[in-house]
Amino acid sequence: MVNDIFFDFFGTLVDYDPSVHPVCNAPLAFARRAGCAISAAESDARWQQAWDRHEADAVSTGREYSMDEVALRYWRSIGSPPLAADAVETLIREYLEVWTQSVSPAPHALECVTDLAADHRLTIVTNTHDPGLVPGLVRRFGLDSVVVDHVVASVVVGWRKPHPAIFEAALRDRGAAAADVVFVGDSWEADVEGPRRIGMHAIYVGRPSALHHPSASLRDLPQFIRSDLSGNVRR
């Protein structure tokens, strides 16, 4: 019997712009406050390189990295200038304030999770680089008081999807058996293959491709899950 539904967040419950260069250039402001004479173009390049280096390591190992690590790598790349005590925290806060402006609930997401919460426990299991980012967005969209009562973040666990450690951490946190969980997400490898490898059911709600087509839309997901699970949700 399915008691728990684990949702991916970015690209599944919310739409977002994945670019690491939002309109307001927080890294450049950080560098200028530190007294570093750097052009916007050079700052952008070094900020991108900081992300790319960490992302390459994460893809190869499954280890998650934090915004703090990105900021410090960027700081070193501009010459490690002296910083105020809260300089890194300020950079991260300013950056996320701008980046999150483009985040909004996906179509039918709020109706979907509100419906499913009537007879399931709902958990968000997400890859993210800041521990407060997703809980803050959950509160912004009113999900915390209505339907979602737990967030499992890769930056807290230390491993990102599809590494089994993040799914196992979510199962432990919820006291759930893998066979009693459905995972819902928009990434085939991270949200379908990863959960299936440890025995969860999985439903793909991402974009159709030559290889993969959605099992259901968020609008139809509650009915889909409450139907004959063994016949409709493949492991």
Structure tokens belonging to residue 80: 């490690």
The helix (run of H) or strand (run of E) holding residue 104 is strand 104-105
Distances (CA, A) of 223 to 146, 227, 229: 20, 6, 10
Whole-model pTM? Answer: 0.92
The angle formed by the CA atoms of residues 228, 8 and 158, to the nearest 5 degrees, is 130
In tens digits, what is the pLDDT along the chain, a chain of 235 residues?
Answer: 789 999 999 999 999 998 888 878 999 999 999 999 999 999 999 999 999 999 999 999 999 999 999 999 999 999 999 999 999 999 999 999 999 999 999 999 999 999 999 999 999 999 999 999 999 999 999 887 667 879 999 999 999 999 999 999 999 999 999 999 999 999 999 999 999 999 999 999 998 888 888 888 999 999 999 885 644 444 3
Q: How far, in Å, CA of 192 to CA of 173, rounded?
A: 20
Tokens in use for 5?
Answer: 């539904």
The separation between CA 92 and the C-alpha centre of its own chain, rounded to angstroms, equals: 16
CA nearest neighbour of 10 among 214, 222, 212, 160: 160
Q: What is the helix (H) or strand (E) element at residue 167, kind and residue range?
A: helix 164-174
